C-alpha cells in the first residue's frame, strides 16, 4: 500500500485536471542519438478547462505559440543538457504529440512518465542511460531507473486490515479512473537480448500502469 500512496501523490497534479493517458517513448539509434516522443491525452473535461483558460488570454496567436514553445523548450532543458525541443502536434481527438531530440542518450536525465501538458512538469526522479558495446560489437543500452526509497524501520505503523486496504484501493480507483501511463525504449534495430519485463520487436516496456485494472493485490 505504501507504493500505492506514492503513486497517488505523484499523480495528484494530473488528477486535478481530469483523467490522463500518456506514453513516453525513448527512441535510440546505435550511435546514441535519438528522440523522446511524449504522446498524451487529457479527458474531455480537462481539455475543456484548458481551452477555456487559453480563450481567456488576450495575447495574439503568435504570442501564444511563442509562449508554448518556450514552455516545451524549458521541459527539454530539464531532461538533459543535450535535449532540444523539436515540435508539438495536436490531433483532432485532443492527443498531443511532443517530440524532443538528443545527440547522446547518456546525457539524458528524464522521468519515465510524461507530464500532462506544457504547463506541468513531472517531479519524479529521472531515469538515466549507459551505452556501450559488447565483445560481439553489439550496442548495449543500460536503463537505470531510480530506486524506491526504503521505508523507515523505526516507523511502527499499525498493520492495515484487508478491508481497509480494499477501501483505499477503491477510493484511489475512483479518483484515478481512466489514468493510463506507459514508458518504452524503442531501438533503431533489433533487440537481441533484454532482461526487461516485456519486449516486443524492437520495443522494451519500462513501465505500464492502468488504474482501471488495479486491484488490492497491486
Please give the residue that has the higher pLDDT: either 64 or 151: 64
Is pLDDT of 105 > 80?
Answer: yes
Is pLDDT of 100 > 90?
Answer: yes
Joined together, the cell numbers standing for residue 210 give: 492502468
CB atoms within 10 A of CB 111: 20
Give pLDDT, residue 2. 43
In the beta sheet, which residues pair with residue 215? none
Give pLDDT, residue 152. 57
Kindly report, residue by residue over 21-79, the tens digit of the pLDDT: 889 999 999 999 999 999 998 766 665 566 666 666 677 778 878 888 999 999 999 99
Confidence band for 7, pLDDT divided at 50, 70 and 90: very low
Radius of gyration of the CA atoms of the chain, in A: 19
Q: What is the spatial order of strands in the sheet that 20-28 belongs to? A: 84-90, 96-102, 34-42, 20-28, 180-187, 203-210, 198-200
Confidence band for 188, pLDDT divided at 50, 70 and 90: very high
Kind plus residue range of the DSSP H or E element containing 28: strand 20-28
Task: State the Cα–Cα distance between residues 175 and 20, nearest whole angstrom.
Answer: 12
DSSP code of 84?
E
Is pLDDT of 104 > 90?
Answer: yes
Give pLDDT, residue 167. 78
Joined together, the cell numbers standing for residue 8 give: 497517488
Task: State the Cα–Cα distance between residues 145 and 201, nearest whole angstrom.
Answer: 22
Confidence band for 166, pLDDT divided at 50, 70 and 90: confident
Give pLDDT, residue 122. 63
pTM: 0.74
Amino acid at each position: 500500500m505504501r507504493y500505492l500512496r506514492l503513486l497517488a501523490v505523484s499523480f495528484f497534479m494530473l488528477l486535478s485536471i481530469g483523467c490522463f493517458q500518456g506514453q513516453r517513448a525513448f527512441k535510440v539509434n546505435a550511435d546514441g542519438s535519438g528522440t523522446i516522443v511524449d504522446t498524451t491525452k487529457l479527458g474531455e473535461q480537462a481539455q475543456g478547462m484548458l481551452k477555456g483558460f487559453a480563450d481567456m488570454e488576450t495575447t495574439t496567436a503568435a504570442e501564444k505559440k511563442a509562449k508554448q514553445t518556450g514552455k516545451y523548450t524549458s521541459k527539454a532543458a530539464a531532461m538533459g543538457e543535450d535535449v532540444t525541443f523539436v515540435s508539438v502536434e495536436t490531433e483532432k481527438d485532443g492527443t498531443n504529440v511532443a517530440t524532443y531530440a538528443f545527440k547522446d542518450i547518456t546525457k539524458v536525465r528524464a522521468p519515465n512518465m510524461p507530464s500532462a501538458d506544457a504547463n506541468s512538469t513531472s517531479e519524479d526522479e529521472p531515469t538515466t542511460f549507459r551505452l556501450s558495446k559488447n565483445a560481439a560489437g553489439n550496442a548495449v543500452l543500460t536503463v537505470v531507473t531510480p530506486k524506491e526509497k526504503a521505508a523507515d524501520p523505526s516507523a511502527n505503523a499499525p498493520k492495515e486490515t484487508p478491508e481497509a486496504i480494499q477501501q483505499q484501493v477503491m477510493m484511489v480507483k475512483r479518483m484515478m479512473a481512466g489514468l493510463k501511463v506507459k514508458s518504452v525504449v524503442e531501438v533503431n534495430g533489433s533487440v537481441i537480448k533484454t532482461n526487461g519485463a516485456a519486449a516486443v520487436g524492437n520495443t522494451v516496456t519500462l513501465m505500464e500502469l492502468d488504474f482501471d485494472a488495479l486491484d488490492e493485490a497491486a
